[in-house]
Amino acid sequence: MGKAISIAKVTFKEGIRERIFLGVLIFSGLLFLSSGLLADLSIGNILKVTQDIGLSGLSLLGLFIALFLSTHLIAKDLDKKTIYLVVSKPIARWQYILGKFLGLCFLTTFALVLGFIVFICALFYFWKTSHLIQVPHIAWFKHLLAFIFLNLKMCLLVAIGVFFSSFTSSALVAFFFSLLTYFIGANLQNVKMILASKIGENISPILKIVFDFTYWLFPNLSVLDLKQAAVHDLPLNSSHLGVSGLYCLTYIFALLFLASFIFDKREFN
Amino acid sequence: MDCITLNHLYKTYKKGLRHKIYAVKNLSFSVEQGEIFGFVGPNGAGKSTTIKILMGLIFADKGGAKLFGIPCTHSEARAKVGFVPEQPVLYEHLSGEEFLYFAGELYGLPKKENKKRVWELLERVGLKETGKRRLRYYSKGMLQRLVIAQALIADPALIIMDEPFSGLDPVGRMEIMNLIKSLKKQGKTVFFSSHILHDVETVCDRVALIIKGELKYLGRPDNIEETFRKELQKWARR
């Protein structure tokens, strides 16, 4: 485990010193700070719109860092052959995979924590200086929960990125597959609801079987999305949260196991 | 115990859909402790393939490759081995010190000893002044020296080098030769590949000559240039 931690530390350092990481952080910071201005232009409750934009921005920041860096940093190791100096040491291949995953998770968490602090500060400022006649209640704790689950979701995306990078040589291919998985995973629940409604009655059984297969194969990311619950202060079921968290961790474990298995057979020419 | 044992080693690469080409064919020899062993052959002879098999980067199709009696596919086999790859490509955002420390961690060195070794080696390879500088600002020669330092971080019994003289000027080549000699004095075993026969003849105790993946000569390096020329002619006539 110690060697995996060493790889994680180096991955974190490499990632944080990448220019693209700084660029994404600056872009996100500007997005959060301007969320109040954007909300001013919209129709409806300014604070709710601010929360919506802020949490969506946070999600976008995490998505970009998790997917882009997870595929980019591993592909860079393979492409530039830096991996020779790591794999030729007395370490097992699974330690490399675990180390990369942990490092990228630290990196994503670090970026998200920074983004969350900026977002909460901006939200607090707009809340305190609000000119609304009836200042709405903000569910601060649910925002924290939404942030924790967003972080879990991003760790799952990192695992997806690591998984695709374990057998592809191109960062672009791994990024594309990971992004596709994200879009499928984020929309599974909506499609399921459509199929369960009256519209679903007219859909062919073969298509339903294909969907069932997809539903079980791809991660259902919407169970980790607590944005609406945080913004609209909707009730949350603790057992549901527990199961969702466990589902996410199990999925991560399965992906890392598969990635390690594939990587163990991979040759570095 | 032998440091390196190759036993009827085979490795093929696919060429097209049906054809296979042999990168290494029935290669067998061993390297004893304390010797400087040169692994020579023309470009595409299978030298780097053999080294990659030894370092666990690729896998043999058939036959055995062992380091200190442990199959190369096991990570423990590389515990007493330092590796210098042909291309000195490192993590460009790390400093020299950080990279060496990382290499030490991968060998499982204790923190205190690792820190001490890092600065000892930076001094030994003449990079003490630039130890804190990021690797992206290092020259090729500096990177080459750092790659050698990382191979020595855990004080290995065996050092494997892939074309250590390639791309170096005469001064750089001389430095590497002196390093190899000093390693021998310390009782280390050095196994390196090269196609510069003069250097091999000067520094090696024994050599193995391979052409198209097959072992053509194994023994003392005297007259290696002549042997190499004859073997190449024989191969060309076929």
* pLDDT tens sequence across A190-218: 888 888 887 777 778 888 888 888 888 99
Tell me if chain A has a CB within 8 Å of the CB of B98.
yes
- A8-24 mean pLDDT: 86
Task: Tell me the percentage of chain B whose pLDDT exceeds 90.
Answer: 48
* pLDDT tens sequence across B127-173: 888 889 998 898 888 888 899 999 999 999 999 999 888 777 788 78
| Cβ-contact A11, A104 below 8 angstroms | yes
| Cβ-contact A118, A33 below 8 angstroms | yes
With CB atoms and an 8 Å threshold, state whether B103 touches A85. yes
Secondary structure element (H or E) that encloses residue B208, with its range: strand B206-211
With CB atoms and an 8 Å threshold, state whether A268 touches B108. no
Tell me which residue range forms the domain holding A60.
2-265
Q: Which of A85, A93, A267, A269 to mutate to test the interface with B (most CBs of B within 10 A)?
A: A85
Mean pLDDT score of chain B, rounded to an integer? 88
- The token pair at A144 is 């924290």
Q: Which of B24, B157, B165 is nearest to B86 (CA)?
A: B165
Interface of B with A in 109-148 (CB under 8 A): 147
- B6-21 mean pLDDT: 87
Determine the length of chain A.
269
pLDDT for B196: 80
Tell me if chain A has a CB within 8 Å of the CB of B58.
yes
| Kind of pairing between the strands at B158-162 and B189-194 | parallel
Count of A-B CB contacts under 8 Å: 74
Q: Which residue has the higher pLDDT, B19 or A106?
A: A106
Task: Count how many domains chain A has.
Answer: 1
pLDDT for A126: 77
What's the predicted TM-score (pTM) here? 0.89
Q: Which of A192, A173, A50 is nearest to A122 (CA)?
A: A50
Q: Which residue has the higher pLDDT, A249 or A55?
A: A249
For the cut 90, the answer to whether the pLDDT of residue A259 exceeds it is: yes
Q: Which residues of B115-152 are buried (b: 16+ CB within 10 A; e: fewer)?
A: eebbeebbeebebeebbeebbeebeebbbbbbbbbbbb
User: Can you tell me the distance from the alpha carbon of B136 to that of B138, in angstroms, rounded to the nearest whole number?
Assistant: 6
Tell me if chain A has a CB within 8 Å of the CB of B5.
no
* pLDDT tens sequence across B24-52: 899 999 999 999 999 998 888 899 999 99
- A69-92 mean pLDDT: 89
Least confident span in A123-137, A222-236, B59-73, B95-109: A123-137
* pLDDT tens sequence across A85-104: 999 999 999 999 999 999 99
For the cut 70, the answer to whether the pLDDT of residue A64 exceeds it is: yes
